Amino acid sequence: MSEHGVTILRLGYRLGRDPRITTHLALVARALGAQRFLFSGDEDKKMQENISSVNQRFGGDMEIEHIKSPMAWLRRFVTQGIDGNPPGVAVHLTMYGASFREVTPTIRRDRPLVVIVGGAKVPSDVFHISQYNLAVGNQPHSEVAALALFLDGWYGSGAIERKLEGGELIINPSLTGKDVNDTRSA
Ligand code: SAM
């Protein structure tokens, strides 16, 4: 696991078309261990509030923020570093990339990591700025599936079983139905 944590950068968010799939991306990022979810394109306070509300109910503290200039942010991330951190490693998920299963084990883990997920149109600069263009298979499919498989590979299988601390609701795994402790009524 990277000591600096993992940021997801979702490019080109479109209000009206993308809220559901981008919310799913953020939920997958949160459940699989990312620390920060950034999105560019349209602003959407409601989507941000949705994720904060999931954190409050089910735990964890993944931050979600809109950014106006994703390419400037990405250049700074890989060249200078962000928020006093060292320069980071950028992985761009694209069906045109190299096999994520072969390459992920070779990526250094002592630097911040950003995982870039494209939107309707991915600027060609993303391919050049990213140190790694990685494919989750060389067929077009879903960004949600690509992110889930990549993060599972990065953190090691079992990442999805992790416990997120601090939630109001605690789910007890059950074969027979819903078993939830509601700490608000304790
Ligand atoms: N039209 C976009 C383009 O010009 O590249 C692609 C749209 S695709 C549904 C959205 C995102 O899903 C891509 O930018 C990529 O991040 C991710 N994606 C889709 N298939 C993928 C694959 N096989 N491997 C890795 N990422 C994939």
Residue 70 belongs to some domain of the structure: yes
pLDDT confidence of residue 186: 65
The pLDDT, as a whole number, for residue 157 is 76
Q: Whose CA is nearest to atom 4 of ligand 1?
A: 121
Could you list the residue range(s) of the whole structural domain that residue 141 is in? 6-185
Q: What is the number of structural domains in the chain? A: 1
Cα–Cα distance, 87 to 164 (Å, whole number): 28
Give yes or no for residue 22 CB within 6 A of ligand 1.
no
Ligand 1 midpoint to CA 141 (Å): 7
In this prediction the pTM is: 0.95
Assess contact for 50 and 19: CB atoms under 8 A. Answer: no
| Model pLDDT for residues 135-168, shown as the tens digit of each residue | 999 999 999 999 999 999 999 877 888 889 999 9
- Look-up: residue for tokens 């402790």? 181
Mean pLDDT of 60-84: 97
Read off the pLDDT of each residue in 59-79 and give the average, rounded to a whole number. 97
CATH label of the domain that carries residue 89: 3.40.1280.10
Per-residue pLDDT averaged across 84-110, rounded? Answer: 97
**Cα R_g (the chain), whole angstroms:** 17
User: Is 54 a domain residue?
Assistant: yes
Ligand 1 atom nearest residue 119's Cα: 10
pLDDT of residue 129: 98
